[in-house]
Amino acid sequence: MSRSLISIDDLTEKEILKILAKIAYFKKKKKVAKHLGKSVGLLFEKFSTRTRLSFESAIAKLGANPIFINKQDTQLSRGESIAETARMFSFYLDALVYRTDSHSKISDFHKASDIPIINALSDLEHPTQIISDIFTIKEVFNKKNIRKINICYIGDANNIAISFAKIAKILNLNFTFCCPKKYSKPIANIINEEIGLSLTTDTNKAFHNADVIYTDVWTSMGMEKENAIRLKDFKKYQVTKTLMQKTSNKSVFMHCLPAHIGEEVTLDVINSDKSIVYQQAENKLYSAMAIIDFFLS
């Protein structure tokens, strides 16, 4: 088993800070061919625009060879086991970036692998996205001490939210999670008021003086059957201009994208000056470089 990034919990505070510093380095350098001759696979079982392209491009910018693997073309789709596939991948690749519909699948893949496995989104976590977003928050607020920034995540307790709450715990961030009670269970275990992590159902309370408002879709990939009920349950949790007025003067709006405009966020908010969604998307390239470099080095 090799050192991997399956969950945010696989990294210490020191390691996360090291990766954040590397992101800044790669954002300046843009291209550093320090992994010539290495091959990194990309196995994506779910749709992706940003994560797939940013990693593919990042691997090439580091001098390594990105190999996109279509699951349908592998023996996995004909029933060869995850364990055997992982052993085979370990012979030919130096690392694997894997987006999957099941967190247990990526954990099993990792257990049977000799190469680093990087979670490019599972049903339970999206660690590379959140590392990148913490970099963007640091960049925007230009503060050494990000603990002083009031961060609010509003919406579903999904993969993004879980990775966010976990990184908030590790980095000791000031983090409020706002969600209907019925959906908050996956986050409730991580929340600890004593260390600055709180949970509320009250949007006014959550937005009051917040510096960062972060949201994501109410219906993640694979949950489409629940869409109608979720639209109803989350209706009051839409990020609107009125709610944004309760935030601090310097507040920003964040979203990992793709967004369902008119659901979790209104058009006037995502298109406003406060929105930094494209800065987030751009930074995914440098974060991918930093993460690949960290695990290949």
Residues that bind ligand NVA in the complex, under the rule CB under 6 A: 121, 158-160, 216-217, 220-221, 256
Which of 220/247 has CB closer to ligand NVA?
A: 220
Residue 24 CA to residue 107 CA, distance in Å, equals: 30
Binding partner of residue 49 among ligand CP, ligand NVA, none, CB cut-off 5 to 8 Å per kind: ligand CP
CB of 257 to ligand NVA, least distance (A): 7
Among ligand NVA, ligand CP, none, what does residue 217 contact (CB within 5–8 Å per kind)? ligand NVA
Backbone φ and ψ for 113, nearest 5 degrees, come out as: -100, 155
Looking at the Cβ atoms of 120 and 199, the one nearer to ligand CP is 120
In the complex, the smallest distance separating the C-beta of residue 216 from ligand NVA, rounded to whole angstroms, is 5
Beta-carbon count within 10 A of 92 CB = 10
With residues binned 3-state (H G I as helix, E B as strand, rest as coil), the percentages for the chain, rounded to 5, are 50, 15, 35
Q: How far is the CB of 159 from ligand NVA (least distance, A)?
A: 5
- Shortest spacing between CB 256 and ligand CP, in angstroms: 4
**R_g of the chain computed on alpha carbons:** 19
With CB cut-offs between 5 and 8 Å by kind, which of ligand CP, ligand NVA, none does residue 247 bind? none
The answer to whether the CB of 145 falls within 8 A of the CB of 17 is: no
Which residue's beta carbon is nearest to the bound ligand NVA?
A: 220
Tokens 């972060």 belong to which residue? 214
Instruction: Provide, rounded to whole angstroms, the least separation between the CB of residue 270 and ligand CP.
Output: 14
Which residues make up the interface to ligand CP (CB under 6 A)?
48-52, 121, 129, 256-257
**Which one, 104 or 204, has the nearer CB to ligand NVA?**
104
Nearer to ligand CP, 122 or 247 (CB): 122
Query: Measured from the CB atom, is 113 or 280 closer to ligand NVA?
Result: 280
Residues 6+ apart with CB under 8 A from 109: 82, 85, 86, 96, 98, 100, 117
Least separation in angstroms between residue 281's CB and ligand CP is 7
Q: Report long-range pairs for 84-91 (Cβ below 8 Å, ≥24 apart).
A: 84/112, 85/109, 86/110, 86/111, 86/112, 86/113, 87/112, 87/113, 87/114, 89/41, 89/113, 89/115, 90/114, 90/115
Closest to ligand NVA by CB, 161 or 243: 161
CA distance readout (Å), 49 to 44, 54, 64, 95, 106: 11, 8, 20, 20, 20
Residue 159's binding partner out of ligand NVA, ligand CP, none, with CB under 5 to 8 Å set by partner kind:
ligand NVA
C-beta of residue 206 within 8 angstroms of C-beta of residue 184: no
Residue 158: name its binding partner from ligand CP, ligand NVA, none (Cβ under 5 to 8 Å by kind). ligand NVA
